[in-house]
Chains A and B, each alone.
Chain A
Amino acid sequence: MTLKSIYLTISQFHENEKLLEFSTTRTGNVVLWLTLLLILGETQYLPLLPLMILAQRFPAQRLWIAGLGGGGLFLYRKLLELEVTHLLWFVMDAGFVVGLLYLFFRVARSFTDLPPTVRKNPQIFLHLLLWGCILSLFMLPANFRDDPAWFIASRLTECLAFFAFLIWRIGLMLYAGKRGSSKKNGFVDQFIYVLPYLGSTQVPYGKGLDYLTQKQANSRLDLAKSQLAGLKLLILSHLWQWLLDGLGVLFFDHSDSSDLLFPIPLTLYHMDTLIALSGHQVPSPAIVWASLIMDMVYETIQLAVIGHLIVGCLRLLGFNVFRNTYKPLLSVSLVEFWNRYYYYFKELLVDFFFFPTYLKFFKNHPRLRVFTATMASAFVGNFYYHFLQHFDEFIVNGNLLPFVKFNSYLFYSFMLGIGIFISMIREQNRRGQPVVQYAPRLQSLITLRKIAGVWLFFSILRIWDHANSAFMQDTAFFFALFGIHF
């Protein structure tokens, strides 16, 4: 047995036929659930364990079990976050959210009866409705949230916060209506993605019901494959978390190193600290560059930790969906990295911005067509998503962020769009061409050079995407990297 085959046996354990067979037995099941108890024990996803067991026991009711259970847990957590603790208001708010979703469900079901303009642009109308609600808040007194006279309006803003949070998922529901697939499923079936206990952002992990049902296990063996693949992701998530902790201790922990068992080999900085530092005590160029690269790697692993947990749980519930993060640090092109880094966010941009633009404009100009669609998704859609996300704080607490706060991200999205477009065109040009064969060592060097290029691009791009971004400060930092100061 070679080292490679040992690695493959361990890393691909979820495809091992004997293990798959064992996991369908009673003993195998007990082992699986106990392992999950250990793995999920310290996470917020532990309450999903009984749902996973129930979903296995009653596969025909899987959507209901995952939807009702996960939906209930989501509402509970979200309303606590919004500090809704009184039982009556809790029930009323939850009822309002479910009512709102039911309204959109009915709209999706009766899609063909909608006025032609709405039918043609359902997403635009959906977002106009949300913006109408947000803008109506400006007409209320500044302190209405604390004024008992405006109690009802204050409650409605809680529900508006849900509407804003769920906007992309409601959009998926409308897409299903447009395709006519929403007629196949009931209202409760939708809960699994519209009331998402899994995932804490607006990004729908596992996409909508159409995708989830396509990836649903249809036999006991399918379920076993999905469960083991899920278990693998949960284990990976823990391994990556340990790696992150290790990187933190090795590079980013700036506590007194005399307390440690061994000296810190290199003191590096996360992006926001690095940029804040650059105004006062500039670290050496080597430290700055090493920090840029290592922070990008750190953040990518961080995303994998969260994504693996969420997708792992979905797989354990019986939905064998694609990973959110799949080896992005081994990508050899920008577009490949973008595809592998944050899959479900990329899919959101593709579904809501890329395809609608691609299918409508410049059909006779292939390059322009790709350019427009790429910029519509990676630039406009990406920026819009984050811009809208920041209005959550305004809806709930009335705090409005100045637009200047977004300048940096605007530039980030623009450069990302340009980078992805160039990468896409290069990939398209390469397609169909004969593969040039190099000597193995040279081939490895070429691959490494490509990977390094991808790392460098995204490490530098992140200068305009951090917690304390400000365009001029970030741009000045970028030029300072090359010894240009202004």
Chain B
Amino acid sequence: MNTQANRDKIIRFLRTIARPDLAIENINDNDGLVKSGLIDSLAMLEIIDFLESEFGIDFSETGIDPVELESIHKILNLIEKRTQ
């Protein structure tokens, strides 16, 4: 699956967990999702759930570094790395 399609999926998902008063269109792919206020740190758990169910990524063996989920760009990198 190409990066653009993955990105669209992520954006669609982030809209469901983002703060309703902030538009996801206002942040760049490299902006920190928590730092920008779009999501809170707890929403990271939901991002993990999403990556497990949507992309079949299994973190149980490798563990996770929350930094890898900091921005849309980093999430895309993670998906690419783990689904190769």
Q: Which residues of A contact B (CB under 8 A)?
A: 120, 175, 178-179, 210-211, 214, 335, 339, 350, 355-356, 358-360, 363, 366, 370, 424, 427-428, 431-435
Q: Does B11 contact A (CB under 8 A)?
A: no
Q: Does B5 contact A (CB under 8 A)?
A: no
| B64 in contact with A359 (CB, 8 Å) | yes
| B63 in contact with A211 (CB, 8 Å) | no
| A435 in contact with B65 (CB, 8 Å) | no
Q: Does B48 contact A (CB under 8 A)?
A: yes
| B61 in contact with A335 (CB, 8 Å) | no
**CB-CB < 8 A to A335: which residues of B?**
42
**CB-CB < 8 A to A428: which residues of B?**
42, 46
Q: How many positions in chain B have a CB within 8 Å of any CB in the partner chain?
A: 24
Contact sample, A vs B, 24 pairs, CB 8 Å cutoff: A120-B61, A175-B63, A178-B63, A179-B62, A214-B67, A335-B42, A355-B59, A355-B63, A355-B64, A358-B45, A358-B48, A359-B63, A360-B60, A366-B49, A428-B42, A428-B46, A431-B17, A431-B40, A431-B42, A432-B16, A432-B17, A435-B19, A435-B20, A435-B21
**CB-CB < 8 A to B17: which residues of A?**
431-432
Cα A228 to Cα B20 with chains together (Å): 34
| B20 in contact with A432 (CB, 8 Å) | yes
Given known A-B contacts A427-B40, A432-B16, A370 and B62 have beta carbons under 8 A apart:
no
**CB-CB < 8 A to B42: which residues of A?**
335, 424, 427-428, 431
The chain A residue sitting closest to B52, CB to CB, is A363
Given known A-B contacts A366-B49, A427-B40, A433 and B63 have beta carbons under 8 A apart:
no
The chain B residue sitting closest to A347, CB to CB, is B66
The chain B residue sitting closest to A364, CB to CB, is B53
Q: Does B79 contact A (CB under 8 A)?
A: no
Contact with A along B63-83 (1 / 0, CB 8 A): 111110000000000000000
| A211 in contact with B67 (CB, 8 Å) | yes
